[in-house]
Amino acid sequence: MTEREKTLTVTALSPSGEGLAEHNGRWIKLQDSLPGERVKVLGEGRSLRVVARENDSTDRARPQCPIVSACGGCAWQHASQSLQQRTRLEHLVRALPGELRSLPIESTVSPMAYGYRTRARMAWRVERGRTTLGFHARGAA
């Protein structure tokens, strides 16, 4: 079976930072995509992968990390700080019970865009008596 190229419109961001697009009645996560972008994808089912963007969102940011495309540690670097803040607040409000969703919520944003995280999910592997510690590669965990 050959893969057919499709064009999808990203309409939201997932809690893990991937763009979300509807395809065949299902929501598909698409790495390195943002709401408002039209992306060309290849694959079938939930295994669609972005091969090109037709347009860039005005909220697209240039990642500051040189290994962001391989690392799975900072999945939001392609999104502007304002989009990150808005989206995370939307996800928080959606997670609240209905009666609490109308309450005003204040958020505090770090004045530093990078280097402020205090949590990391590390993985380790032991092979032939040697231990390797690091982050999972993007899409590996």
pTM: 0.77
Specify the 3-state DSSP secondary structure of 41. strand
22 three-state secondary structure: strand
Strand duo 19-23 + 12-13: pairing: antiparallel
DSSP-assigned letter for residue 136: P
Among residues 32, 41, 26, the alpha carbon closest in space to that of 13 is found at: 32
Q: How many CB atoms lie within 10 A of CB 83?
A: 19
Identify the segments of the chain with pLDDT beneath 70: 1-3, 72-73, 116-119, 139-141
pLDDT tens, residue by residue, 74-99: 778 899 999 999 999 999 999 999 88
CA distances from 126 to 81, 122, 129, 132 (A): 37, 14, 6, 6
Q: Rounded to an integer, what distance in angstroms lies between the CA atom of residue 8 and that of residue 41?
A: 7
